[in-house]
Structure 1
Amino acid sequence: MGIEFTPIFFMILVGISVAIGMLSMSYVLSPGRAKTRGNRVKQMPYESGMDPIGDARQRFDVRYYLVAIEFLIFDVELLLLYPWAVAQWHRDEVSPALDATVGVPLELRSMAFLGALAFIGILVAGFAYTWRKGVYEWR
């Protein structure tokens, strides 16, 4: 083998040595090595600092899932609207040195804006529907 593979072998060696070093330091610094006395209170499970009440396998209300899905929808909305907002800039407004293919042409901007408004309107209508159905009213 030639010298062209030396950086690859060096990176593999560094990766292996970092992994071994991390494992050995976690063994040395772990609190499990010290003798700790436990009692019933210390070994009792808890969630978010609260004592568990009831069965762990209880069913959740469907409203919890609806709120979670709606949060994801509004989160994904930002993934769509941010590139759309960036693409609205035309080359003449940013810099004349940029290529002509950058951004939405001036004659299509109003159509793109109306499309984004329709998208936001559909999301707002879904939000209003779930609000009217009482999804956000907790017992």
Structure 2
Amino acid sequence: MKILIFMASIIVIILAALVVILNLTAKKTFTDREKSSPFECGFDPKSTARLPFSLQFFLIAVIFLIFDVEITLLLPMIITMSYSNMIMYPFLVISFLIILIIGIYHEWNQGALNWAY
């Protein structure tokens, strides 16, 4: 048993050293202005990076992330329905959905969902 653990640790050390050596010696890519510039961010990659950023775009992205996380919390509720207390479960789901609806209504009422040109 000890010999197997010793052999496995030697193999792991050799593979780790091999990965490090290959990473240091391999030619990845050549450095180019187009390769090192940001892409698909809404800006022209040939201009400077200090352009004013659209606050509306940032707010929409944050709202999307918040409600995307809420959906990932909502989907497991369906799976846990059979394991939960069936008396308290509807109150939990309804209160969670009410909080979501109040949040989206608040964002809509504040004008964060309107695109102003």
Normalised by the shorter chain, which TM-score bucket? 0.5 to 0.7
User: How many residues of Structure 1 are paired with residues of Structure 2 in the alignment?
Assistant: 112
Structure 1 length normalisation: TM-score?
A: 0.57
2:49 and 2:39 map into 1 onto residues whose CA distance is 16
Once the 2 structures are TM-superposed, how far is the Cα of residue 116 of structure 1 from its aligned partner?
0.9
Identical-residue share of aligned pairs (%):
21
Gaps of 5+ in 2: none
CA 1:53–1:128 in 2, change beyond 3 Å: closer, same or farther?
Answer: farther
Find the counterpart in structure 1 of residue 12 from structure 2: 15
Q: CA RMSD in A?
A: 3.2
2:30 paired with 1:30: no
Once the two structures are superposed, the pairs formed by residues 1-139 of structure 1 within 5 Å of their partners are 3-4=1-2, 6-31=3-28, 42-43=32-33, 45-48=36-39, 50-56=44-50, 60=53, 62-89=55-82, 103-106=83-86, 108=87, 111-136=88-113, 137=115, 139=117
Is there any run of 5+ residues in structure 1 with no aligned partner, and where? 90-102
Q: Does 43-52 or 120-129 show the bigger shift?
A: 43-52
1:19-72 Cα deviation digits (max 9, x unpaired): 22223333443146xxx7x8xxx436522063253453x664554454344333
Greater relative contact order structure (CA < 8 Å, 6+ sep): 2
Give the structure with the higher percent helix: 2
